[in-house]
């Protein structure tokens, strides 16, 4: 019996290290798996020069000034940005595919605001990247977390230069708080950025301050039931060429609960306004 017991004890001591090594390997694999999910994906949105598009559009529409060209990751937003101080072109071409600015500076300014129509994707249950939607209608896709976390870049082509912006804020704003393009003091821009980050439904973990240049894309919506006095806005900061373009980790903020409540009770009908 004693010999048998000794054999069992020896077998145990042989098995224990094997189990320990196996456990460690399993733990390592689990950690690698978790890290693999956390590691940020490379940005698949590549810069595409749109200067030729700008020139061609300008040739066809000589009565207005083509300020630039806007592209938004994950959407079909790939349109000219026009400047029309008389509003004649904007008012008479409502169904045409273009966006516009309210000012037309020669260079990129502290805060560039680009406006675009949303005629169909206006309900409290927006559709995601519907192929029939044009202008800024697909901008509403950013109301959804899964879309927002996977699409974080905006390209703005101006004067044959391609600027890449990284989104840091997605918000709903009232008509009374529509931002204006222009040069701001450092303090004004700081306050504006802080407010935009505070009101955003998502935390993009993007470092942005008053020394950055930002872009705001704004469109109309009836997302909030019973009112047409809100606008949908996404904003990005200009990236330096040296900055890496990996997707940031995006988190849902507490104020997104209001969005989820609207989405749950949202209507699917999409009507022109």
> Mind listing the pLDDT tens digit for each residue in 140-185?
999 999 999 999 999 999 999 999 999 999 999 886 566 666 677 8
Residue 102 pLDDT = 87
Where are the chain's structural domains?
A: 1-39, 51-264
HSE of 261, CA atoms in CB hemisphere, 13 A? 7
CATH 2.40.260.10, applies to 51-264: yes
- pLDDT value at residue 141: 96
pLDDT above 80 for 108:
yes
Q: Model pTM?
A: 0.81
Location of structure tokens 């996977």 = 150
**Residue of 192, 49, 205 whose CA lies nearest to 110:** 192
Q: Could you tell me the two tokens for 248? A: 């940031």
Q: What confidence score (pLDDT) does residue 273 get? A: 39
What is the DSSP-derived secondary structure letter of residue 128?
S
Mean pLDDT of 79-102: 91
Interval 240-268: pLDDT, tens: 988 878 899 999 999 999 999 988 875 55
180 alpha carbon, distance to own chain's centre: 20
Say if residue 91's pLDDT is above 60. Answer: yes
Question: Over the stretch 51-90, which tens digit does the pLDDT of each residue have?
Answer: 999 999 999 999 999 999 999 999 999 999 999 999 999 9
Q: With contact defined as beta carbons under 8 Å apart, do 163 and 241 qualify?
A: no
**Whole-number pLDDT of residue 202:** 98
Cα–Cα distances in Å, from 114 out to 41, 60, 83?
28, 21, 10
User: What percent of the chain is modeled with pLDDT above 70?
Assistant: 78
Inter-residue contact 266 to 125 (CB < 8 Å)? yes
27 band by pLDDT with thresholds 50, 70 and 90: very low
Q: What's the pLDDT band for 42 if we cut at 50, 70, 90?
A: confident
């Amino acid at each position: 019996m004693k010999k048998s017991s000794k054999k069992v004890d020896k077998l145990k001591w042989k098995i224990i290290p094997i189990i320990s090594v196996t456990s460690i390997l399993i733990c390592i694999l689990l950690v690698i798996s978790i890290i693999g999910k956390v590691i940020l994906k490379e940005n698949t949105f590549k810069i595409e020069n749109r200067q030729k598009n700008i020139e061609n559009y300008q040739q066809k529409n000589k009565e207005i000034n083509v300020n630039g060209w806007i592209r938004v990751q994950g959407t079909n937003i790939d349109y000219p940005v026009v400047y029309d101080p008389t509003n004649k072109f904007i008012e008479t071409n409502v169904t045409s595919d273009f966006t516009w600015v309210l000012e037309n500076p020669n260079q990129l300014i502290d805060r560039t605001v680009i406006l675009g129509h949303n005629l169909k994707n206006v309900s409290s249950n927006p559709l995601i990247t519907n192929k029939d939607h044009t202008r800024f209608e697909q901008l509403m896709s950013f109301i959804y977390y899964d879309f927002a976390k996977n699409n974080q870049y905006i390209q703005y082509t101006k004067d044959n230069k391609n600027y890449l912006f990284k989104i840091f804020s997605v918000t709903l704003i009232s008509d009374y708080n529509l931002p204006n393009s222009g040069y701001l003091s450092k303090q004004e821009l700081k306050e504006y950025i802080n407010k935009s980050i505070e009101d955003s439904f998502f935390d993009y973990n993007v470092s942005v301050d008053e020394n950055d240049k930002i872009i705001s894309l704004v469109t109309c919506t009836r997302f909030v039931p019973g009112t047409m006095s809100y606008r949908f806005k996404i904003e990005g900061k200009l990236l330096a060429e040296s900055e890496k373009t990996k997707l940031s980790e995006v988190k849902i903020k507490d104020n997104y609960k209001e969005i989820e409540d609207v989405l749950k009770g949202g209507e699917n009908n999409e009507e022109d306004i």
